Amino acid sequence: MSSLGSLKSQIFDREERKQQYQAHIRGLNAYDRHKKFVRDYVNFYGKERSVQANLPVKTDQDTLREGYRFIRTEEDDMDSSWEQRLVKRYYDKLFKEYCIADMTKYKSGKIGLRWRTEKEVISGKGQFICGNKHCDGTDGLASYEVNFSYFEAGENKQALVKLVTCERCADKLHYKKRKEKELMDRKEKEKLAKLANCESKRKRDQSGIDDDTDSEYKEREASTRKGKKASSSGGKHKDDDEDDENFDEFLQGMFP
């Protein structure tokens, strides 16, 4: 009987406290009631925090990003860990005949490539629709074999893949190579023009030297001719004077 009485007493006390609490809550306005609920929540749940909440959580997407390889090797398949099994299961679902390209940074020569998914194969993306991720063109499509150079798992790798693009995206695909060729051609033209200018200047300088040499030679020749003429004229005058003196001497004996 005592146990039954104590049980009834506990139930009665609990119901009484509940009614008192409800009466107290009803007596508060909306703002005070909000503050009380927030304070009770912080006091009840804020003291003990779960340690598991602060630990980093590794999702399947993180596992795929870490272990994915553009082209898997036999060594990758030999790894039997659950992470590699998950990556291989995802890799086997991809279709590896044509690629999908991301040409957002095509001006810097950075073009990303990936394999197609089942949804893209069904829609024709990358084969009957331009393989550029941000282009849905269907006219002027052409298939290209691209030597894809990429950095993966700390190594530089290369793979020859197929990519279908429209004419506009094909220009983006070959943009950097075309610009490099134009730059090389421009430098070659500038080099040839510079060599031509140097050759022309050398010829002009050589022509000026030849003209100066000819002028000096002509002046020297003219001065030589003048000297010879002057000497011959002086000798003639001297001979005339001697002839006059001889003629006077000849006449002296003829007239007494």
Q: What local confidence, expressed as pLDDT, does residue 250 receive?
A: 45
The secondary structure element, H or E, covering residue 128 is none
Which comes out higher in pLDDT, residue 21 or 191?
Answer: 191
What's the number of CA atoms in the CB half-sphere (13 Å) around residue 77? 6
Residues 65 and 134 in one domain: no
Structure tokens at 225: 């001719």
Site of tokens 């020297």: 220
22 inside domain: no
Range with lowest mean pLDDT among 76-85, 113-122, 168-177, 210-219: 210-219
Based on DSSP, count helices (H) and strands (E) in the chain, helices before strands.
Answer: 8, 4
User: Which pLDDT score, from 0 to 100, does residue 59 have?
Assistant: 86
Helix (H) or strand (E) holding 89: helix 82-92
**Total structural domains within the chain:** 3
Residues 117 and 103 in one domain: yes
Average pLDDT of the chain is 81
Question: By residue range, what is the domain housing residue 63?
Answer: 56-93
Residue 32 lies in a domain: no
What is the share, in percent, of the chain residues with pLDDT greater than 90? 37
CA distance 140 to 163: 14
Residue 10, pLDDT score: 81
Nearest to 99 by CA among 140, 147, 63, 152: 147
> Do the domain assignments include residue 9?
no
Q: Is residue 11 pLDDT above 60, yes or no?
A: yes
Is the domain of 114 the same as that of 163? Answer: yes
Q: Given a cut of 80, is residue 117 above it in pLDDT?
A: yes
- Is residue 100 domain-resident? yes
In-domain check, residue 137:
yes
72 occurs within a structural domain: yes
Tokens of 123: 């829609």
